Amino acid sequence: MLTWGCGTFILSRRRRTSRLGVSRSLEVPCLPQDEGDSRSIPKLYIPLVRHVYVAQLSVAAIRSTITPRRALFGAIGAAFISVSAIGTEALIRARIPDLQSRLPSALYTRPVPWGSNRRVQPAVAIGTVDGSPLEERIPVRLADIPNRLVQAVLAVEDQRFYDHHGVDVRRIGGALVANVRAHGIVQGGSTLTQQLAKNLFLSASRTPLRKVREAALAVVLEKRYTKSQILEAYLNEIYLGQDGARAIHGVGAASRYYFGKDVRKLTLAESAQLAATINAPNRNAASRHPETATQRRDLVLQLMVDQHRISQAAAGQANHVDVNEGEHPGATFDGRAFRDVALAAVGKKLPARGEAIYTTLDAAMQRAAEHALENGLDRLRAPGVQGALIAIDPRNGDVLAMVGGRDYGESQFNRATAAVRQPGSAFKPIVALTALAREKDHPPAFTLASIVADAPLSVQTAKGAWEPADFDGSYRGDVTVREALEQSLNIPFARIGMTVGPANIAATAHRVGITSPLDPVPSIALGSSGVTLLELVRAYGVLATGGDLNSTRMFLGRGHHGDRVQLAGNSSPSRVVDPAVAYLVTSALEGVIERGTGRALGAQGHDGAIAGKTGTSNNGRDAWFIAYSPTLVVGVWVGYDDSRDLHMTGASAALPIVSRFLSTTTTDDDWPSFAVPDGVTVADAGRGASDWDSGCGSREYFLSGTEPSERDCQSFQVPGAIKWGEKMGRDAGREVLRFLARQLRALRGGTE
């Protein structure tokens, strides 16, 4: 039983000494006494006493067994094991990797820009395959680095580089004395080789063990490689600042970022400035601290003079040059929405470094897409409104630009690929494809000249009466299919949809690339079933190619950065629509841009053949606009994530974003004319309400064999002449609009 003894716990009734020579009584502070027994110990403290006792016994046991001799041999053994472990690590790990293999495995933009007359630029890293931070690296050989830069680095970082074998004892002693005098760390003793070893193999933690490992690795590196190889690796590995979230490594990338030029073109002043930033790149950056940068630059120049690397005259000239305070960021776009989709599609695991995966993303187009969407949404002055943009090349399915939302940092949800929204009238071209196509050997249900009533309509459904209405609430009477598509009239297209059947419309949609489930109900003709922006853009790509569907492609190939790209195979396109039928729809969608709901795009002076369609869902919840040529399809969606009413149309919310994007990324050569395929005939469609100026009525495109009977208009029956006249009319109209736009801009400029 434990008893209380004036601050002493007596662990037995008899005071004895244990075999370890420890008394079984423990001296502890006096504890509060229980009311019942002044000599008893409260049960609460018994576990504590036992733990203290065991600890004392353990310490005593260790003291009794360790003699000075044993301690000496133990220390020697531990040192031997440590040295052996450090040496083994150095022998195994101290290998300089190839310059290309030091690049993080990453996704890159396309190596050759899309389109015509574009300046070729280096591929830009979009994201690493393992999710690690991006690094900015441009590998350069030692032979391509100017000697003045090499001498500047050696002067300030390791002036005895060619005299030591990895560790400079003299420098370590000098650094120790300097640090003692300064009562702090003001000078480092690491050689250039030690710095390389730390950057390649170790962390930046300041511990004695790391310094020992660093020295061992440096010695092995010196034994295995020449000074030139070590110097080349160092100049490509050294950290030299930040380009946003990207760490800049190596003089190649640093030269491009700080001076906007190739490293081979650096002057003496620029070389000294770059070398001066090595010890503290962010603190010594001229863009942030120009005075500090100037002082450091001048110090490097003086060291070069003192070490007889340059003349005093050369240093004097360089001293009079102002430090370069500019910066030249390499990547000025985000691209993370595309990166997320692409990484998910990579599939197999790749090494952390050395692999370059080239994607279809075009750097210039991605940059323009992000700016166009951001500015377009800001213009709407609608807090919380979101948007998405996708641009593809319909000839091969390449995704050229993708923006998934207003700000990826705030929301990573990709509205371009994952948001399923009602396309509204942007779905009508798919209805038109169904209506204008032949069904086996039967003639099509409609032609572009067919008359459809724009009059009140009521359709009984399982949910009650469905009564579609046009956007403006008016009725136009009889209109042609072309007019209904150009003016985006709902009631005529509801009638067309009822005639051809909702199930057939859904089948056509799936055939042209829509993969979302579609409800075969009457309202499908007005875009009531949800689709993604990517699906809709892909479907318009079928129209752009004249009936061919290409699978969406995001990868061009892989290899080492800067080397020849090993191109991946591309799947063959599938013919899913009759080219003649596709052309009929495209001709009507050209009319949308010329005189229909998309005429604002044509009014802004975009040259070349452009077809497109606006789309607005119920109550303006979703605003769409898709524009395309034979080589490019661009789509934009605007709306709220919670499906609130936007109260805007595709023409007012989405079209200006597409227009801004096209104006900064394309040239006239990117918009070739749509070729008229075989099986299309131009014929007189008869007089209509707008044909007051022609005795023959309007001219229209038909599938061969579906045109009306010949009329007395023989002098105008040559399709080539008609096409020429139409083109002349369009060109004249565009020139007038362009002239008016210039006059309006000049007037605004004069009054502001």
**Which sequence positions are flagged as catalytic?**
157, 425
Give the span between the Cα atoms of 714 and 558, in whole angstroms.
59
Q: Are β-strands 356-359 and 106-108 bridged in parallel, bridged antiparallel, or unpaired? A: parallel
Q: Output the CA angle 577-493-501, nearest 5 degrees.
A: 60
Radius of gyration from C-alpha coordinates of the chain:
38
Q: How many whole angstroms from its chain centre is CA 148?
A: 37
Structure tokens given for 411? 């929301």
Give the span between the Cα atoms of 248 and 137, in whole angstroms.
6
Residue 710 has what DSSP assignment? P
SS3 178: helix
Q: For residue 718, what is the enclosing H or E element?
A: none
Structure tokens given for 640? 């709220």
Give the span between the Cα atoms of 349 and 580, in whole angstroms.
45
Give the span between the Cα atoms of 484 and 451, in whole angstroms.
10
DSSP string across 271-334: HHHHHHTTTSTTTT-TTT-HHHHHHHHHHHHHHHHHTTSS-HHHHHHHHTSPP------S----
Task: Judge contact between 133 and 247, C-beta under 8 A.
Answer: yes
Give the span between the Cα atoms of 695 and 713, in whole angstroms.
8
Q: Output the CA angle 203-206-208, nearest 5 degrees.
A: 105
Closest to 634 measured CA to CA, from 705, 533, 735, 546: 533
Closest to 428 measured CA to CA, from 495, 477, 478: 495
Give the span between the Cα atoms of 267 and 318, in whole angstroms.
9
Closest to 107 measured CA to CA, from 144, 80, 134: 134
Per 3-state DSSP, the chain is made up of helix, strand and coil in percentages (nearest 5) of 45, 15, 40
Closest to 374 measured CA to CA, from 338, 339, 334: 334
